[in-house]
Amino acid sequence: MADPSVLNPHPPEFDRFLYASVGKDRNGYAVTVLSTLARLGLDPWNETAELVTLGGDAARARLGSLLARSRDVPALARNHGRVARDLSQLLPEGPTSGALQRAASTAGEGRSIPSGVILTVLAVLYVVFQIFMAVRSGSGE
């Protein structure tokens, strides 16, 4: 049977935390932890894995500093500490599942290359190869 993590490689233990609301943005739309971290230019799953490895007070302090940087949600400017305290209680206690352990172990290893970049490079290489083959076959050899 196929590994279910192939379709969703992110640890399901992160879902409760990542999909929790942090408030409404200036346009009145609900904003989640996931979208807040993404708006800050961070990978939400890597950041969550790092918070899990920090644990307790350190995770709460880091989350508070991240939420304070968000300018899209007015409530965070006033209450980022309280929101961070509440949200930190939704973090998994520690690496338990295989996916969560992989995420936590790779959180500090740097950023991976986005799949869009890889696909773009492969597409460019394919086009260059096709041009090379067309020129080669048209040279009369």
| 79-97 average pLDDT score | 82
Count of Cβ atoms closer than 10 Å to residue 124 Cβ: 10
Structure tokens at 38: 């993404």
- Which run of H or of E encompasses 31? strand 30-32
Say yes or no to pLDDT of 127 above 80: yes
Structure tokens at 28: 């009145």
Q: What is the C-alpha to C-alpha distance for residues 6 and 27, in angstroms, rounded to an integer?
A: 35
The pLDDT tens digits for 115-126 are 777 888 888 888
Give pLDDT, residue 4. Answer: 52
The pLDDT tens digits for 10-59 are 678 888 999 999 999 989 999 999 999 999 999 999 999 999 998 889 99
Give pLDDT, residue 64. Answer: 92
Mean of all residue pLDDT scores within the chain: 80
DSSP letter (8 states) at residue 1: -
Give pLDDT, residue 94. Answer: 59
